A and B are shown apart, each in its own frame.
Chain A
C-alpha cells in the first residue's frame, strides 16, 4: 500500500516536472496561419473569409444605412433610432453605424491583404501560376471594393496594402482620395486580367471586375475629384460588359430579387456580382427582406417597421404599366393581404415569402437566404447611358437605347404604348441627368446606390432640401433637408480618432 502511494506521487512528479513540451500551447479549434498556405485549396479557403466579410459590410451598413436611409428614397420613422439619425443628417462621430462600417471595411481589407501577401509568397510547387494569379485577382477585386466604399464614405483614408503583423505597422495617415482611387483602379485592372470568365454566383469574374471599374470611373466624375475625363473610360469599361454575351437582363424583373429560389442561368447573367447569404440555420443568413418589406410578424414574412417610402418618389411610378412598382413597394399587410394607405407603404425589393400569398412560409428572421446583388446588368446599362451623356455633353441615341432596354422589361405584359417613360435626344445634359436619376430610382431603388448617385451627379443637396415628408417632417428630430456640405462624408468614428489621432473630417 505504502509503496503504491509513493509510486503514484513519483509518477506524477516525473511526468509533470520533466516533460519539456509541457508548457507548449496548441490550439485545436483554430489553425496556425503561419503554416497554412500550402496549396491552392488552403489559400482558397482563406479567400472565402474575405468574401464572407462582404456580408457584414453590405447587409445593413451600405445597403440600408448609407445607400437608402440617408437619401430621398425613404422616410425613417421617429422610432427607428439610429436609422432616423442617419436619415435626418443628425450624424455624429460616435454613431454606431459609422463605427461599424469603418471597422468592418478595414477587417475585410486586412483579410484581403493577408491573402494577397501569403499567396504571392507561395512557391511554384505549392500552387500553379494561373491559380495563384486568380486568387490574388479575386482578393484585389475585393480589396478595391472595400476601398471604394471607404473613400466614398470617409474621404481621405489610411491605405493599407500589406498584411499587418504588428501594431507598429498600422498606418494612420489619411491618404488623399485621388491616391486611394489610383490603388483601386490598379487592383481592378489586375483583377480584370486574372479572374475567371465562367459565371458563378458570388465569385469574382472578369465581367464583375470590368463593371466595377466602370462604376469607379463614373464615380470619379463627381465630387470630390470631378474628373470629367473619366466619362470616356467609364463608357469603355461598361460597353465591354454590355457587349459580353455572357451578360444580359433576366427575363423577369421579379426573378432577380427572389433568390430564395434556385439561382437560374437567366438570373446569373443579370446579377454580375452578388454577396452570398444562405439560411436559415446555415450560419450565414442575412436580413435581406427583413430590413425592408411590409412590416409584420416575421413568421408571416413580415419585416421591421423602420422605413416608409417617400411618397413623392413613389409617385414617379406608372403604377398601371410598371411591374417594378409591385416588386419594390409594399402596399399590403403580409399576414392577410389587406391594402394599406399610401402613407403606410414601405420599401420592398428582396421579398420574403408572405403568408397571404403562400400560406405557411418559412420564418427567416434574421437569417434569410436572400443574396444581395451588388452589380446588376440593368445598373450597367444605366451607368453606360450616364457615361455617354457626360462624355458627349448630352444624350445620344445609344444612351436612350440603354434606358429603353431597361424599361422594356419593366413593362407590364399586355400594356400598350411605348416607351414606358419618355426621354429624348432633345434634353439638355442636366435634364438628362435628372431623367437618369428617375430611371435609376425606378429600377434600382433600395439597392443601396442612391446616395452615391446623388453625390456623383451633384444633386444630393437639391434633392434632399426639396423633399417633403408628409408623415414625419413635423417630428422634433429634424429632417433630411437639414443636410449640410460636410454631410457628403461620414465622420471618422470618434473611437478611431481617440486611438490613432487622425484628423476628423471638416464639419464634424
Chain B
C-alpha cells in the first residue's frame, strides 16, 4: 500500500503560479548547488500588487473517462482458448473437483465444452473503469500599498478517478506577504500549504504479489465465471469468483469495491527573508525556508477475499512517513556601477540545510468484530513483527559560494562563480566538492555596427557558459559498515541478531558534470518572429552508480563513483505572430529537442558493461532478469535481450517436406499424439535444451561462445534490443484570438523511442491458464492456421522463449492532441456594467486523441522509477481524457 508519497508539485494549485522558469546551464544553476544538478525549476507563486483589493473567483467542472481499453479476448474466445489449453486427462479418470480442466466442460465423458450462454460473462474493464466528475474552485484576494503587499488564495480541487471508488481531493491555502520596514530593511513571508487526500487502488502493484496488481487484473482476470470450482479458487456466497490460486489473484471489481486504501498528506513550505542594506549598494540577505511533508497511509484488506482471507480475518495496515527540513542561506551582495558603463555585482554566501526523515508502519491481522479494524488496530488477534517497523535518518549539507557578474554597456555580460559543497552522505575526507562555472553573453544587437546592418533582424544575442556541477543523490550510510537487527531463535529464546548490511565504500564522493551551453537568440521584423537555438554538451563522470557485485562478496550490489555519461543535444524554439490585426491575431509556437545519450567509460576493471533488471524480480520468470544493460558507447537504459524471429513453422522442419497445410496438420497431430519430437532443418536453431514444435516462438541465433552463430539460441544470443530515448520530441501550439474569444490548440509528440511492454508477458502467457489473454492471441498459430507470426497458445511458455525479446519491444512514437481550449473574456465595458473588473469563461478538452502504434494504454509511460531502466510499461495506470467548462471573475 501507499509507500509512495505525494509529489511536492501536487500541493501547488496551478492558478497560484505566477511564473515557471527552467534553468539548465551550469552557470545559472550554480547558485542552487547540488539541488540543481539536473537543472532547476523555479516556480514563483503570485504576489500582491499595489492597489485596491482584488477578489477573484475561479471555478470549473469537468468530466473524465478512460482514453483507451485494452483489447482482450471476449468471453467466448476465452472459453475456447481455455478449453484448448487445459485438456481433460487422457490417463486414469480424475477425481471430481480438483482440477481446472472442468471449469468450462461437462462432467461426463467426453467432457464436451459448455455453451457460454450458461455462464456469467464479465467485462472487467467496463465494470472497473468509469466516467467521472472533476471540480476545481479557487478564491484569491490580493492587494497592497507602498509598504505592504499581500496575496492569499484558497483552493479546493476534487477529482474522482476513472478507477471505481478512487478519488483525489486537495485543499490549498497560500499566503504571501512583502513588507518594507524601512528604506534599509525589507522582509517577506510566503507560506504554501496543502492538504491532500487520496482514496482507492492507486498503486498498480499494491497487494501481496506481482500477479495481484489491480490494473493487470482488470484486463486479465478470468472473464467467464467457472462452472466447477477447483481447489485454490474461492467464490462468494452468491457464486461470484473472488480469487484464484489460493487467494493470490483477486477479482478486480471486488477489490475496487471493498478494499480500503487511503492516503492523507499535509505539505507546507514556508519561506521568510530579511534584507538589510547598511550602506548603499551593499545588501545582506538572509533567508530561512522550512518544509514539512507528512504522509499517512491506511489500508484494509477485508477478511472475505484475497490476502485478507489468505491470512485469515483481514489485514489492517497503517503507515506514517514524515519528511521535514530547513535551509538557511545568507548572502552579501555588492552592486556598483563604475564610470557609467561598467556594472559589477559581487556575491558571497554560506548556506546550510538539514533534512529529517521518519517512518513507521503498523499491521494487524485477524479482526473478529465486524466493522472494527483499521481504526482500532489493537483489536487484531495477530501481528507480524516483520511488518511492524520504523526508520529514521537525517542528512545535512553545507556550502560556501561566491559569484561575480560584470556587464559592459549592456553589450557584454560576464559571470563567474565558485561554490564548495559538503554532504553528510560521504565519509570524512570525501565530503566536500568544489564546483566553478562561468558564462559569457554578447548582445550583438546593442552594437553600433550592427544597427542598420541587417534591418530585418531585431534581436541578435549570443551566449555561452561552462561549468562543473555536483550530485550527491544516493541513500545515506553507503560509506559505513553497519549491522542491522533481525530476529532469530536460540533454543526457544527469541533473540535479536545482527547482520551486515552492505559492502561499504568509504571512497564515495560527489558525482560531477561538466556542462557546456551555447545559444543564439534571433528576432525578426520587430520580434514578430523569434528563434532560439541552444546547444548543450554534458559530461557526467565519477557517477554514483549502484553496480552489481559478484555474489561471492556476500552482497548483490554497492555504490561506486564509476563511469561516465555523455549527453549532447539541440533545442530549438520558434514563435511567430502570423497575423495581428486590431481584432484578430494568430500565434504559433513550435519547439523541438534532440538529445543523444551515450554511456562512457564505466571504470570497471575489464568490463565495459553491467546489467540491471527492469522491475523488482518476484521469482516467477527468470527469463526477464537483467533486461537492461549499461554499456559503454550505448545509450543508458538500453533494453537487452533476444531478437524475436516469429515462430517455427512447418517449413522449418524436415517432417513436413512437400506437404500441403492440411497434410502437415494431420501429421503434426499424429506426431503430438505419439509424443514424437520434430526434426529441425539444418541452420534452424532451437533454444538450448528445447525441442521446438511448429508454432513455438522462435528467437534468433545471432552469436555463440566465439561470437559466431552456433546453431543454439542461448545466453550468447542476447543483444541490445531497444532504446528508450526519443530521436526528438516537442510541442506545437497555435493561439487564435478574435475580440474576446481565444482558441488554443496544443500538440505534443515524441519520435523514435522504444517501450518495453511487459504487460504482454502476463497478457500473452499460457502458464497461468485461467487468466485472460490479449487480443493478439486470436491470430495464434494452430495446425490449420500456420500463416501467422503469433505463436501457438503454449508456444512461448513451453518453448524456452519465456524471456525478454524484441517481441515485447514496441515503437513508442506518438502525436498527442494534448489540449484544445476555447475561452471568452468579457470586454471591459460589459464587465464594468456587471460591476466586475474582469470575467472569463472557457471550455477545455484534454488528451483528445493520440496517434500511435503502441498497443498498451498510453505511450507516455515509464514505471519503476529507475533511471537505468526507463520506458517500461507494466500495470501502469491508464490515462484519462477529460473535458472541462469553467469561469473566472474578478471583483
Q: How far is the CB of B690 from chain A (nearest CB, A)?
A: 8
The closest CB in chain B to the CB of A55 belongs to B488
- Please tell me if the beta carbons of B352 and A22 are within 8 angstroms of each other in the complex: yes
**Chain B, 286-326, CB within 8 A of any chain A CB:** 286, 288, 309-313
The closest CB in chain A to the CB of B234 belongs to A297
The closest CB in chain B to the CB of A168 belongs to B605
- Please tell me if the beta carbons of A30 and B482 are within 8 angstroms of each other in the complex: yes
Contacts of A28 in B (CB 8 A): 392-393
Are A92 and B484 also in contact (CB < 8 A) when A477-B798, A496-B550 are? no
Stretch at the interface among B515-523, B619-627, B815-823, B870-878: B619-627
**Chain B, 599-632, CB within 8 A of any chain A CB:** 606-607, 610-611, 617, 619-620, 622-623, 625-626
- Please tell me if the beta carbons of A167 and B501 are within 8 angstroms of each other in the complex: no
- Report Cα–Cα, A34/B611, bound state, in Å: 32
- Report Cα–Cα, A396/B288, bound state, in Å: 88
Most buried by A among B354, B483, B501: B483
A52 adjacent to chain B (CB < 8 Å): yes
A 96-137 to B, binary, CB cutoff 8 A, 1 in contact else 0: 100110110011011100100000000000000000000000
Contacts of B352 in A (CB 8 A): 16-17, 22
Counted as pairs of residues, one from A and one from B, with CB atoms less than 8 Å apart, the total is: 296
Contacts of B354 in A (CB 8 A): 16
- Please tell me if the beta carbons of B497 and A94 are within 8 angstroms of each other in the complex: no
A79 adjacent to chain B (CB < 8 Å): yes
The closest CB in chain B to the CB of A159 belongs to B552
- Please tell me if the beta carbons of B382 and A33 are within 8 angstroms of each other in the complex: no
Contacts of B767 in A (CB 8 A): 79, 81
- Please tell me if the beta carbons of A498 and B611 are within 8 angstroms of each other in the complex: yes
Contacts of B424 in A (CB 8 A): 22-25
- Report Cα–Cα, A158/B550, bound state, in Å: 11
Stretch at the interface among B90-98, B110-118, B191-199, B261-269: B90-98
**Chain A, 134-151, CB within 8 A of any chain B CB:** none
The closest CB in chain B to the CB of A262 belongs to B492
- Report Cα–Cα, A471/B95, bound state, in Å: 12
Q: How far is the CB of B649 from chain A (nearest CB, A)?
A: 18
A494 adjacent to chain B (CB < 8 Å): yes
- Report Cα–Cα, A434/B310, bound state, in Å: 42
- Report Cα–Cα, A8/B89, bound state, in Å: 82
- Please tell me if the beta carbons of B286 and A299 are within 8 angstroms of each other in the complex: no
- The answer, among B95, B395, B483, B551, for a CB contact under 8 Å with A496, is B551
Stretch at the interface among B61-69, B449-457, B553-561: B553-561
A237 adjacent to chain B (CB < 8 Å): no
- Please tell me if the beta carbons of B553 and A48 are within 8 angstroms of each other in the complex: no
- Please tell me if the beta carbons of B611 and A476 are within 8 angstroms of each other in the complex: no
The closest CB in chain A to the CB of B330 belongs to A13
The closest CB in chain B to the CB of A95 belongs to B622
Contact size class for B?
A: 35 or more
- The answer, among A22, A31, A170, for a CB contact under 8 Å with B482, is A31
- Please tell me if the beta carbons of A474 and B675 are within 8 angstroms of each other in the complex: yes
Are A9 and B288 also in contact (CB < 8 A) when A27-B480, A171-B552 are? yes
Q: How far is the CB of A242 from chain B (nearest CB, A)?
A: 24
Most buried by B among A22, A48, A100, A474: A48
The closest CB in chain A to the CB of B548 belongs to A499
A222 adjacent to chain B (CB < 8 Å): no
- Please tell me if the beta carbons of B551 and A96 are within 8 angstroms of each other in the complex: no
Are A94 and B483 also in contact (CB < 8 A) when A49-B497, A110-B554, A283-B385 are? no
Contacts of A22 in B (CB 8 A): 352, 396, 398, 424
- Report Cα–Cα, A30/B550, bound state, in Å: 24
Contacts of B689 in A (CB 8 A): 90, 92
Contacts of B489 in A (CB 8 A): 202, 276-278, 284
The closest CB in chain A to the CB of B425 belongs to A25
- Report Cα–Cα, A501/B386, bound state, in Å: 37
- Please tell me if the beta carbons of B549 and A103 are within 8 angstroms of each other in the complex: no
- The answer, among A45, A79, A280, for a CB contact under 8 Å with B495, is A45
Q: How far is the CB of B745 from chain A (nearest CB, A)?
A: 49
B498 adjacent to chain A (CB < 8 Å): yes
- Report Cα–Cα, A495/B425, bound state, in Å: 29
- Please tell me if the beta carbons of A94 and B715 are within 8 angstroms of each other in the complex: yes
Are A470 and B482 also in contact (CB < 8 A) when A45-B496, A48-B488 are? no
- Please tell me if the beta carbons of B181 and A94 are within 8 angstroms of each other in the complex: no
The closest CB in chain A to the CB of B769 belongs to A79
B885 adjacent to chain A (CB < 8 Å): no
- The answer, among A23, A33, A277, for a CB contact under 8 Å with B500, is A33
B185 adjacent to chain A (CB < 8 Å): yes
- The answer, among A2, A90, A501, for a CB contact under 8 Å with B606, is A501
- Please tell me if the beta carbons of A471 and B383 are within 8 angstroms of each other in the complex: no
- The answer, among B246, B384, B476, B479, for a CB contact under 8 Å with A281, is B384
Contacts of A102 in B (CB 8 A): 551
- Report Cα–Cα, A71/B100, bound state, in Å: 26
Contacts of A160 in B (CB 8 A): 552
Contacts of B606 in A (CB 8 A): 501
Contacts of B365 in A (CB 8 A): 281
- The answer, among A93, A164, A340, for a CB contact under 8 Å with B98, is A340
- Please tell me if the beta carbons of A29 and B488 are within 8 angstroms of each other in the complex: no
Contacts of B477 in A (CB 8 A): 25, 27, 30
A263 adjacent to chain B (CB < 8 Å): yes
- The answer, among A5, A36, A281, for a CB contact under 8 Å with B274, is A5
A46 adjacent to chain B (CB < 8 Å): yes
Q: How far is the CB of A465 from chain B (nearest CB, A)?
A: 16
A 272-300 to B, binary, CB cutoff 8 A, 1 in contact else 0: 00001110111110000000000111110
Q: How far is the CB of B566 from chain A (nearest CB, A)?
A: 24
Contact size class for A?
A: 35 or more
- The answer, among B288, B311, B490, B501, for a CB contact under 8 Å with A12, is B288
Q: How far is the CB of B606 from chain A (nearest CB, A)?
A: 7
The closest CB in chain B to the CB of A482 belongs to B689
B724 adjacent to chain A (CB < 8 Å): no
- Report Cα–Cα, A477/B423, bound state, in Å: 55
- The answer, among B383, B486, B555, for a CB contact under 8 Å with A107, is B555
- Please tell me if the beta carbons of A31 and B384 are within 8 angstroms of each other in the complex: no
Q: How far is the CB of B827 from chain A (nearest CB, A)?
A: 46
B232 adjacent to chain A (CB < 8 Å): yes
Contacts of A203 in B (CB 8 A): 490-491
- Please tell me if the beta carbons of B620 and A82 are within 8 angstroms of each other in the complex: yes
A500 adjacent to chain B (CB < 8 Å): yes
Q: How far is the CB of A187 from chain B (nearest CB, A)?
A: 17
**Chain A, 1-46, CB within 8 A of any chain B CB:** 2, 5-6, 8-9, 12-13, 16-17, 22-25, 27-34, 36, 45-46
- Please tell me if the beta carbons of B803 and A94 are within 8 angstroms of each other in the complex: yes
- The answer, among A281, A295, A343, for a CB contact under 8 Å with B231, is A295
- Please tell me if the beta carbons of B274 and A498 are within 8 angstroms of each other in the complex: no
- Report Cα–Cα, A106/B551, bound state, in Å: 7
Q: How far is the CB of B685 from chain A (nearest CB, A)?
A: 15
- Please tell me if the beta carbons of A29 and B484 are within 8 angstroms of each other in the complex: yes
- Report Cα–Cα, A203/B490, bound state, in Å: 6
- Please tell me if the beta carbons of B488 and A284 are within 8 angstroms of each other in the complex: yes
9 contacts across the A-B interface (CB closer than 8 A) = A33-B500, A45-B497, A52-B497, A92-B800, A106-B552, A106-B553, A304-B246, A476-B794, A499-B551
* Chain A interface residues toward B at CB < 8 A: 2, 5-6, 8-9, 12-13, 16-17, 22-25, 27-34, 36, 45-49, 51-53, 79, 81-82, 90, 92-96, 99-100, 102-103, 106-107, 109-111, 114, 158, 160, 164-167, 170-172, 200-203, 263, 276-278, 280-284, 295-299, 302, 304-305, 333, 340-341, 343-344, 363, 365, 367, 470-471, 474, 476-477, 493-496, 498-501
* Chain B interface residues toward A at CB < 8 A: 89-92, 94-95, 98, 181, 185, 187, 231-232, 234, 246-247, 274, 276, 286, 288, 309-313, 328, 330, 350, 352, 354, 365-366, 382-386, 390-393, 395-398, 422-425, 431, 476-477, 479-492, 494-501, 503, 505, 548-556, 558, 560, 606-607, 610-611, 617, 619-620, 622-623, 625-626, 675, 688-690, 693, 714-715, 767-769, 794, 798, 800, 803
8 A-B pairs closest in CB distance: A110-B554, A48-B497, A16-B352, A363-B312, A283-B385, A49-B499, A9-B286, A30-B482
